[in-house]
Structure formats: C-alpha cells, structure tokens
Structure 1
Amino acid sequence: MINNKQTPSWRSHRLDRLGSSIFAEIAGWKQEALEHGKTLIDLSIGSPDQAPALEIREALSRMVLREDQYAYPSSQGTPAFRQAATAWLKHRFGVTADPDHEMLALMGSQDGLAHLAQAVCNPGDIVMVPDPGYPIYAGSLELAGVEPWLLPLREEHEFLPDFTEIPDDIWKRTKFMLVNFPGNPIAVQADITFFKNLIELAKKHGVLIVHDLAYSEMGFDDYRPISILQVPGALETAVEFHSFSKSFHMAGCRVGFLAGNREAVSALRDLKSNIDYGVFEPIQHAAIAALQRAMSCENKRGVAQMYERRRDVFVEALRTAGWSVPSPKATMFIWARLPEASGQSSPCWNSKTFARELLIQTGVAVVPGDAFGSQGEGFVRMALVKDEETLAEAAARIGEFLA
C-alpha cells in the first residue's frame, strides 16, 4: 500500500516566529569566525561575566546541603522571600506592597514575561509592546495567540513612545501595555512625570501597565532608575517585573518576582501553579541574602559602578576608533546607529550584514538591531559583558574594520 501522507513535521510553526532565530544565525557566524582563525570577543549576549557576591554564594551553598530543602517548593514563593522582596521595594523605591497578594516569586523575570499574556488575556485582546523591544515581549504573545500592537521607539522622540499615535480603537481592545525603562536594547530613561501620565492613561482606558524593571540597579552617573509603582494609585493598574540576573549577577539561579496589582499577580500565580512548582528554595534563600545585602551595604550603587567604568572605557575607545556612539545612562548595553565606513565608497550595510561582517572579519560579536523589531534596523546592540581591557581590544578591532 502506498502512503501518500506527507512526512510529518514535529516542529510548531510558531517557534519560527519567536524572534530567537537571529541568535542561531550569530552562532553560525561565530563558527565561521573561528574557522577563519579569529579569537572571539562576544558582546552579543547580556550574560554577566561575574559571580554573585561571596555571601550570596555561601547562603546558597549552606541551604543546598540541608536535607529538608528538596521537597516541592511553593509556586508563590516562600513567605520569607516574598517578605524580603517587599522590604526591598520599600527600601529602594518607597513602595508598599502586600507580600501575600501583591508579590509572586518567579524563575527569573523572563519566566513571568513569557506567561503573563496567557494568564490575563482572552482571544481578541491586543497587547502593546515596544519596537525595538526584548524578543520575549512579542514572543509571549505569539505563544498566547494574542495580537501585538507595536509601540515605535524612535530616535527623534528620544526613544520614548508617543501615546498620541495610539488610535482609540486600539486602546479599547488593549489588555495591557508593556514598557521597559531603562530598556533592553535601548537604555531609555523615564521620569516620574512620564509614569504619572502613563498611569492616568491606563486608568482612563482600563489597561494594565506591565513594567519590566530588570535593570533597576544599573543606573550610571547621577541616574537611578525608578519604579512605576512609586506613582500614587499605580497598584490599581500596574505590575512590575524584577530580576536578580543583572542586579546581583545571579543569571544562572533563575529567580525574580512580580509585584503590583493583585488580580494580575493572582492570575499569573494560578497559571504558574498549573505549569511548575516554583523556584528551588535554596535559590530563594540566596536571593534573600542578596536583597538583605543590598539594603545593608554602604555601597548603594552595587554592580552599577563596574558597568559604568566599562561603559566609559568602551565608549571612549569606540570614539577614538572612529565610531561616535551615545553613552547610555543605564543598563549593560550600548545601542548604536551603524557607523560610516571610511574605507568603502558606498557601504551597503544593514544591521544584519554589518554584524555578520564585523564578526567574521574581527571576531567581535554584536546583535543586529532588527532582531528587536523593525524599528531597530540601522542599529546594533553591544553588551558590556567583558572586562575593560577586552572591551578596549574590541573597540580597536572595530576601528580596524571601519578603516
């Protein structure tokens, strides 16, 4: 008997729409560079190159040796973790939250970002996400079957969204708006006036505001990022994600939390209780140690000082090499418009071709801006995840590439 059925595919079509394909491409470019004898300097992934403070690691190591730490954890997070996170919000931002109803432990903020739309949205809803934006923002909507509406972040508006461009019918269908200040890939700053206006719009239109504050402890110079929950009444219509990955160099520990509107927090908690069993309790204990250290440490700037030094060295070295890039006021990323190549009469670069040629010819890996959305075309993102000497070397290689 002849079987005319086509060979089945065991891969969902939606996987090709999650926005991660560029990182697979970059992996291929890295291999090409290695085959050409290049030594890699990887500035493409925002993965901290430092370990957590010793006392955080000691707290983790003590707990993993205890025999009573290997039962299923609570999907909400331990009371001790939720209380510590609540105390830190109060200490850092002056925000008062209920640890039992307005706080949820997560396996990193990306865990929550990936699942929130499934927890709060229904068919036909719209979610507003920034363009450019972190890939999971739009990817999570694809997984949830929710329609995105892209908020363009343009240079002429200082990369802040222009809310006057949003039609009334979009406001009516929108379940939540996702914002990220300071952001990835763009270190955009939002002041308290901006957040107050945003909360007013949210209440007017019945929209939940979701603020991703993963880089709260990475402000430079005189800038310290603020929480949207500092706005009076924000708990009525906003939630905020926090991460330990960047602030405390705990990226591999996978821990973070969501704070804010209790109905949205409860919805995500209920969804998560059907998916997993929460964060390994020794990791929560280490996270408590990190928060307690941050609240008691005389150095209130934490990891920001190291990244500020790296920023200064890299930005100055790039400018010396012939590429004038902006000096961000926060985060671990440089967001830069493509440079002009003095050695080529008419370079035909777009973000992807620039990133590919730079990597293959110099071994320096960066991310093309269009990986974060169509508005990112013409830019690249570079991560400050190497020491100052290595960043200076990367800048020198880029200078040779541009010459």
Structure 2
Amino acid sequence: MSLHNAPVPTQEEPSHSPNTAWRRGLVAIFAATFFELTGLFLFNPLLLFTLKGAGWSDAAVGLVAASSWLGLALATPFTAGWVARLGLRGALIASGIVPFFALLLMALTPWPLGWAALSMAAGAAGALRWIVAEATVAELAPDHRRGRIVGLFETMVGVTFIAGPALLAWLGTDGTAANTARWLAVGLSGTGLLLSLAVPHLSSHHPTDGTAPRLGLRGIADAMRAQPVLMVAGAVGGFFEAGTSGVLPLYGLSVGFAAAAAALLVSASGLGSALAMVPIGELSDRWSHRKVFLACASLNLLATLALPLVPLWSPAAALIAFVWGGAGGALYTLAMIDIGHRQQGVQLVTTTAVLVLSYTVGGMCAPVLGGLALTWAPGWGLPLLMSTTAAAGLLTLHHHLRRAASLH
C-alpha cells in the first residue's frame, strides 16, 4: 500500500487527509531540496577558488573536492538505517541540519584542513538528502502521476546545478563579492533547512514484527540481488549522463574542436537531461514502462553508433551529447519511478540507495575508461567503448525485463 493512500494514520502519519498530506509533502521536499542544493553548488566552486587563490596545488584542491563525494559514498549504504531510526521526516531534517552547519563553520573558520572534514560531512548528509528525498517523492506521488512528478523533481535537481554556479558567476569570487557569495550559500542552506520542517510526519513503514528488511550493507546486497534491472539502468544512466561530462571535452579536442566548443558538448548533454525528464515521466504514466525503458536504451545505442559521423559533420557531436544526456538521465528516472510503483518506506530507501550507488559507479567509470580509450586507440577507441557499453546495457535490460514480465 502506498503512503499517499493509506487509510489508517499511524503514529508518524498526518491526521489530515492523505491528498493534503502528499501535496504538502511534495511542495516542501521540492522547495527544501532546491534551496539546499543551490546553496551547495554555489559554495563548493567558491571553496575551490578560495583554496587555489591561497596557493594550494591542483592535487590538494582536488582532494578537498573529492571529500564530499567520499562522504556521499560512505554514507549511502546506511541511509535506510537512519530512516528506520529517525523516520522519513526526521531523516530529511537531519539532511538539512548537517550541511547548514558545515557551510556555516566553513564560512566562519579560516582552517582549510577542517574544510575537507566539513565537506565530507556535508557529502554524507547529501547522500541522505538525495536518497530520502527521491524515495519520498516517488512514494508520495499518486500512482497515475508518479512519472510526471518524479520527472519534475529530476528536472528541478538539474536546475540547481546551473543556478548555484550562475549565482557565483554573477556575484564574483574576489574580496567582498566572495564573502557575499559565501554567506548567501549559508542563507540558502538555512532556508532549505527551515522548509524541511514543513514536511509532514510520514510513516517509514518499517515493520517491527520481524519481517523488516535488513539494513546497512546486508540490505544493499539483498536489494542488488532482487533488483538487477535497477542496477543496470543506474549504471548505464550514470555512464552516459554523469560520466560523459568528463569525456566529451576530451573527445571534442581529439576530433579537432576548439576548447570552448569542446566544453559546450557538456552543456548539450546537460540540456538533453533537463529537457527529457518530464516528457519521459509523462510517457511512463501513459505507456508500457518496459517499452519506455527499452526505447530509451535503444536510442542511447543509436546515438553511440553515430559517433563515426562526427569527423565528417561536426554538429553531430552536440546532437549525440544531447541524446546521451536525455537517454541516460531517463534510464535513472524510469528506474526511480519503477521503485516508487513497487516499494515503500525503508525498503524503498534501500533500493534507491542501490540505484544511486549504481549510478555513481557508472559515472566514475566513464571518464576513466573514456580517457584510456582516447589514449590507447585514438579515432576508434571511444566509439567502440560507448557502443559496446550501450549495447550491453540494452541487451541486459531486455533480458531482465522480459524475465520479470514472465514471472508476473
């Protein structure tokens, strides 16, 4: 039974109507997440510029930048445990408290080594926010609108990647402007925390009769075995949506693009991701979920097969990047919609964590393997890597989806 249509309120659930509860919950989660992420994406590049201006080496600055991702990776397997202890609302509030105080302390203290530890703490809280917010949005959304609402949420998250850096570019990174930007980031994070308090009390649906799913690493392993489709969709989606941001500029340079044109390929990918999520969500609500999955994976493969055209017609590179961003992001979004249809509460959180881990692994593999392909086999290495990955993803998804359909 979904959280939004539960007929009997529990201790954590609101006493008002379920319709009012899910609407209020969705608005609060959307708004809180928007302000929190915008603040983080404003503060993080400013932190790197500050360290660079202080004479830190690129390697040292990179380690500080990686600290938030390390915190995210370490915390992801344990998010379901925090939800079981704190409840959905409590976990969302905790995910707002930690980054707010982390940014506040970084703004107040001139201690660069401490900034790395605070950044790691903010990253760990970011894992909690990412997973719990996505899981809660998927569960609160009515069945017939889940695709549309999850698509809107993914689009909103994508906007924060643009809004934070754009605010920093507008304010500036030197002197008084940098200080203003720093405190604006703290204020945005604080606003996100306050809006998190508006999230209604929601049940985490965690049984106490011994039938509860296992938590932590064991729960992650259980979900991986039970949901291979989500692992494949997450990994392929991360590879082509997030991971290619580290490959496209290098590929553009390798085929003769100027540096500015090569960098714009990343923008083309981001634009595809931003524009595709809502239409894909709508299509998922109206059409066979399995067919939409396979259509996106097929489109992704077709785009990779067009890579050899780029040296002959340079605009093809932007079109391919656009499709990769849209199709890759769609695979992640469709997997999130599928989780919302099938699960709820702590189990939904655990399965979302598996999806996030798979997406992260895919995003990490793409720049590493892409760089090796460009180095070892210029000209044909990258097209072979991308087409092989896309084809393997399509065939694996088709196999697991067909198997799942036969079991039902």
Higher helix share: 2
Higher strand share: 1
User: TM-score, normalised on structure 2?
Assistant: 0.30
